Amino acid sequence: MPDSKTAFSFEGVHLELGGRPILQDINFAVKRGEFACVIGASGCGKTTLLRLLAGLVKPTSGSVRLGDQTVTAPSREVAVVFQDYSRALLPWRTATGNVSLALEAIGVPPAERADRIAPLLAKVGLTDHAEKYPSQLSGGMQQRLQIARSLAQDPSVLLMDEPFGALDAMTRQSLQDEVLRIASERHATVLFVTHDLEEALYLGDRVIALYSNPGRVARMVDIPLPRPRDQLATREHPEFLRLRRELFTVMEEIHA
């Protein structure tokens, strides 16, 4: 059983879809306020872990727990930021309208929405773009908007599925720092899926590497790098370089 410091846990989780094993014997827990990153080859079940925790899929056996409660359905305590921001946003709604969608879903009265939307848009740097539609925003702005909409439901756990994979390097680094700042301010727990080893090291308190076919935990590595992180200083830190070599070796074993 998880203790009071556990945000969520996977306990002996197995998942089969169409008779095919997708995940096998997944066991790990993430503490409240921890930023955990999941890496692994395509098809190893990284996104499926998020779907299980979001209550969108049920395990074949074992249990997924949010705090001390078994996950059986979606919860307002868990928000998901998707990779494909262009499909996640409603094109007929402005930035304000897209954030409002989350407030509508949790029953916030119309009269109270504006006062909650404005600070969220300010937090992600979109105050001057509040009345623009997604098609009028850059990719980075669209992803910022999706993050603001996820934060609107005031989740305790934020699930992020390769959210920066389609962005250019500078925008990706800017949003990495934005997410770290927001997570720190809100004391949020984050489970972040990425293919990018350096991104996982830069963001995470811990990196969880998965084997493929079926997905299994290959290695869990603590990342004791000082915070706040810095795009130059952190990446040049001797411990960052040592951990990159260690995890690169792990990834070679996974792909072997």
User: What is the pLDDT, as a whole number, of residue 167?
Assistant: 83
Same structural domain for residues 128 and 182? no
Predicted pLDDT of residue 128: 95
Domain count, the chain: 2
Nearest in space to 149 (alpha carbons), one of 196, 194, 182:
182
Could you tell me if 148 and 127 lie in one domain? yes
| Statement to judge: residues 48 and 98 lie in one domain | no
Domain boundary among 139, 154, 169: 154
Residue 82 within a domain: no
Which DSSP letter does residue 219 get?
E
For 186-203, letters b (16+ CB in 10 Å) and e give bebbbbbbbebbebbbbb
Q: Is residue 54 part of a domain?
A: yes
Q: Which domain holds residue 93?
A: 88-154
Same domain, 61 and 183: yes
Inside any domain, residue 201: yes
On whether residue 230 sits in a domain, the answer given is: yes
What pLDDT was estimated at residue 82? 85
Q: Is residue 129 a part of any domain in this protein?
A: yes
| φ and ψ of 207, to 5 deg | -115, 130
DSSP, collapsed to helix, strand or coil, labels residue 129 as: helix
**For residue 179, what is the domain's CATH number?**
3.40.50.300
Q: Are residues 214 and 94 in the same domain?
A: no
| CB-count burial class (<10 Å; 0-12, 13-18, 19+) for 110 | exposed
Q: Long-range contacts of range 134-142, CB-CB < 8 Å, 24 or more positions apart?
A: 134/86, 134/89, 134/90, 134/91, 134/95, 134/98, 135/91, 137/95, 138/171, 139/85, 139/86, 139/166, 139/167, 139/171, 140/167, 140/171, 140/174, 140/175, 142/85, 142/86, 142/89
pLDDT of residue 1: 46
Which residue among 107, 134, 154 closes a domain?
A: 154
Q: Are both 62 and 165 inside the same structural domain?
A: yes
Residues 217 and 12: their CA atoms lie apart, in Å, by 11
pLDDT tens series, the chain, 256 aa: 445 699 999 999 999 998 899 999 999 999 999 999 999 988 889 999 999 999 999 999 999 999 999 999 999 899 999 888 878 899 999 999 999 999 998 889 999 999 999 999 998 989 999 999 999 999 999 999 999 999 898 899 999 999 888 788 888 899 999 999 989 988 999 999 998 999 999 999 999 999 998 999 999 999 999 999 999 999 999 999 999 999 999 888 887 6
- Same domain for 160 and 149: no
| 25 and 106, same domain (yes or no) | no
pLDDT of residue 254: 80
The answer to whether the CB of 146 falls within 8 A of the CB of 88 is yes
Residue 130 lies in a domain: yes
Are both 73 and 164 inside the same structural domain?
yes
Residue 37's pLDDT is 98
Looking at residue 84, its pLDDT comes to 82
Bridge partners (DSSP) of residue 37 are: 192, 207
146 & 187 share domain: no
157 phi and psi angles, rounded to 5 deg: -130, 130
**Residue 1 is assigned to a structural domain of this protein:** no
Based on the fold, state whether residues 170 and 62 are members of the same structural domain. yes
For residues 59 and 166, membership in a common domain is answered with yes
Domain's final residue, options 133, 154, 175: 154
